[in-house]
Chains A and B, each alone.
Chain A
Amino acid sequence: MGAGRWTARARGVRAVAAVVAALGLLATGCGGGSGSGDGKVTIRYSWWGAKDRAELIQKTVKLFEKEHPNIKVKTDFSEYTDFWSKFNTQAAGGNAPDVFQNSYAFLRKYGDKNLLLDLNGQADAGNLSLKGFRDGLEKAGDIDGKLLGVPVGANTFAFFYNPDAFQKAGVTVKDGWTWDDFFAAAKKVRKSDGTLYGASDNANVMYLYDLYLRQHGKAFFTKDDKLGFTKDDLTEWWGRWQQHAKADELVPGKKSEQAKPKASISADLSASEFTWDNFLVRFAAETKTTLDLGPIPTTDGKRTAQYLSSLMLSGSARTQHPKEVAQFIDFMTHDPEVGKIMGYNRGIPATTAQYDAYRPQGVDAKIAAYEKSVSAKLEPITPHPAGADVAEAAFLRIYTQVALGQSSMGKAVDQFFSEAESALGS
């Protein structure tokens, strides 16, 4: 019996030891921080994009680590919308990446919540140079005096078209053409080619409507973070596109949904489409059709109301290593080698050092020529309030429902205003 008691006691002791050991493991598992003993600093860098960008970014990170042997960069990427879900979750847990890709539409959203590092301090300390940016882009990340992001590349809206189809229809795309000219061209292309629609139905693209509003002296968002147009304005814009869609001149809603993830133009459904000029890189990979870039239609024959938007790098306000973050951003924006590697993948490089280092070939040369042709006409960007991304998603979704015949115009317009206003109000 004595032996039995002894085993029981031993078992109890062992159980306690096991639990203590388990808890100990847990504790060390949680406490493992980034600052390791050998003086090396690790920063996390996350961004959105796909495989092609991943390969380029890995190359630039290797280059950075070689020049800064004391800094290690851990990268992490996902698709655009997934990226933000993940970012929100991490940031809410106080665990946002030290440095991450950002864009104009999100600066205020996260700036208001004090999540973004004010890089002015690091610039003053000499860890980050704000010189040598093209077209005054160094101000792009400036929100109310705080520098919340530094642009790595810039892009602007463009009219994409299939030159062969346009030529066959006898239409020429020229500077100063109007919206009436555009819709007339779409009609002609549709008539001359039975397999192609004249244009993709882009009534749901917030940035295009923003240009249209700016041509009329308004804007999508006002300076005090509200919608800058009325229900009548929106009914007119959506209604105009709907009228041409119903006349079978634009790609029907169902077909463009079915073509996803390709755009209608790269799925060879339509002969023209409006989007950011650096998309030419993507479209060239998706379709064999040659595409050209043309000017945005105007209202008065002059003003396209275009502006440069940009992808940026931002730091997290809670990073333990603001200096290293600033050094990383500095390297990524100024180093000529990085410019050579990235090319126009994130838009045209934002600094002259990188811009000059890279000699654009093929489609990149087309983008460069296009940006040169509009550079004199560019205007300042409209401020994007917090909630702009939610409003954009609603704009896209709700018009798509109209195009699919699921929603009436009146109901759709009301729904957009209610969703957008609640997103901007919060």
Chain B
Amino acid sequence: MTPTTTRAADGVRPPGGTTPGKATPGARPAPAAGRRQGRRETLAGYLFLTPWCVGILLLTLGPMLVSLYLAFTDYNLFDSPRWIGFKNFQDLFADDRWWTSVQVTLKYVLIGTPLKLAAALAVALLLVKPRKGQGFYRSAFYAPSLIGASVSIGVVWRAIFNDNAIVDKSMSLFGWDVGGWIGDPDWALPTLVTLTVWQFGAPMVIFLAGLKQVPSELYEAAEMDGAGRWRRFRSITLPMISPVLFFNLLLELIHSFQVFTSAVVIAGSGTNTGGPGDSLLVYGWYLYEQGFRNLRMGYAAAMAWMLMLGIGLVTAVLFKTQRGWVHYEEDAR
């Protein structure tokens, strides 16, 4: 690397990072010229940063602030927003359907996430040891999460679990006659959960990386001490990959709370309700319905901030508890 490229890279750093002048003093012939050049490069850096800065201001921070403001207004998308204080939040707590959406989402998160992580870990354990066709299997299991949020998978799921479709027919052979799973208020949500569990590819890849980091000496030593498979898994694998597990858990929880596309597509987007008897009315869907169908954008904004609070709370609790079960290598030292 030439000194020029090093400095150019430094210049791209966001404010607060090392200043180019300090970074490589030896490489500069004269301090004054260096400073001038440094300033120019800083300027270039900022210029390169501009699209990103404009992006975060206009597309992330701006909308968030507007949404926070709208949460305290009555806004129907067409007339200008009217300040109503905390009324949207009060209405939320009195809204039966809001509570339904909270319940449906919690069920989805609390059942779906552990199952998904268990499936991801189980398959990762199978695929971590070198074997024939390993690459193929890894890609095959990963594929479903690549096409994860797509509408097409929802459509396929709907076709599979519909009345008189393949699942219904094959289950009937064994005397288990549900009928159309998607139309049955008791089975619609489990259908949605199976879809998320099936898409375990992304956490699986992360688990694979984590499993590869576990030193094989530990297993060898344990085996010599006569530890069985289960014992080795519990006492070595789990603690060693607990940071990865923590990361996956956090990511999947946050992701699950925001479920939308699959629920809407499975229940049929042309319907006016959240699936049979609102059994698929996930939080994101109700928010969307209030905002864009019922034209209650202020209410929807309040819902969004409640969701953010909820996710924040869950994340905070997880971080608090991680001391108890997540083991980082530094702790061992």
Contacts and interface: CB of A to CB of B under 8 A. Distances in A.
Interface in B75-132: 76-79, 96
Interface stretch (B190-198, B246-254, B290-298, B318-326): B290-298
Contacts of A115: 78
A393 B272 contact: yes
B293 A85 contact: yes
A390 interface: yes
A204 to B, nearest CB: 10
Given A254-B183, A397-B273, A84 B293 contact: yes
Interface stretch (B36-44, B212-220, B302-310): B36-44
Contacts of A426: 74, 76, 295-296
Nearest to B289: A85
Nearest to B75: A92
Contacts of A261: 268, 270-271
Q: Which of B2, B273, B277 has the most CB of A within 10 A?
A: B277
A258 B272 contact: no
A397 B4 CA distance: 67
Interface stretch (A8-16, A127-135, A182-190): A8-16
Contacts of A92: 77-78
Interface residues of A, number: 44
B276 interface: yes
A8 B293 contact: no
B184 A16 contact: no
- Give the bracket for the number of chain B residues in contact with chain A: 35 or more
A260 B43 contact: no
Interface in A100-138: 113, 115
B48 interface: yes
A396 B270 CA distance: 14
Nearest to B43: A12
Contacts of B284: none
B78 A91 contact: yes
A16 B271 contact: no
B228 interface: no
B202 interface: no
Interface stretch (A351-359, A370-378, A398-406): A398-406
Given A19-B50, A423-B294, A11 B270 contact: no
B80 to A, nearest CB: 12
A113 B29 contact: no
B144 interface: no
A230 interface: no
A22 B37 CA distance: 25
A15 B48 contact: yes
Contacts of B51: 19, 22
A89 interface: yes
A8 B42 CA distance: 11
B238 interface: no
Contacts of B293: 81, 84-85, 88, 390, 393
Interface in A4-44: 4-5, 7-9, 11-12, 15-16, 19, 22
B260 interface: no
A415 B295 contact: no
B8 A11 contact: yes
Nearest to B45: A15
Contacts of B4: 4, 7-8
A16 B29 CA distance: 26
Interface string A35-63: 00000000000000000000000000000
A248 interface: no
Contacts of B278: 397, 401
A258 B150 CA distance: 24
A260 B271 contact: yes
A34 B76 CA distance: 28
Contacts of B273: 393, 396-397, 400
Interface string B263-283: 000001111110011100000
Contact of B270 (A9, A82, A392): A82
B288 A260 contact: no
Nearest to A407: B277
Contact of A19 (B47, B77, B79): B47
Nearest to B7: A8
A19 B122 CA distance: 48
Given A79-B269, A91-B77, 17 more contacts: A5-B37, A9-B40, A19-B48, A19-B51, A81-B272, A81-B293, A88-B77, A89-B77, A92-B78, A254-B179, A254-B276, A257-B185, A258-B179, A393-B273, A397-B272, A404-B276, A426-B295
15 contacts: A1-B29, A4-B2, A11-B44, A16-B44, A16-B47, A19-B48, A79-B269, A85-B293, A88-B295, A91-B77, A115-B78, A254-B276, A257-B183, A259-B180, A396-B272
Interface of A: 1, 4-5, 7-9, 11-12, 15-16, 19, 22, 79-82, 84-85, 88-89, 91-92, 113, 115, 254-255, 257-261, 267, 390, 392-393, 396-397, 400-401, 404, 406, 415, 423, 426
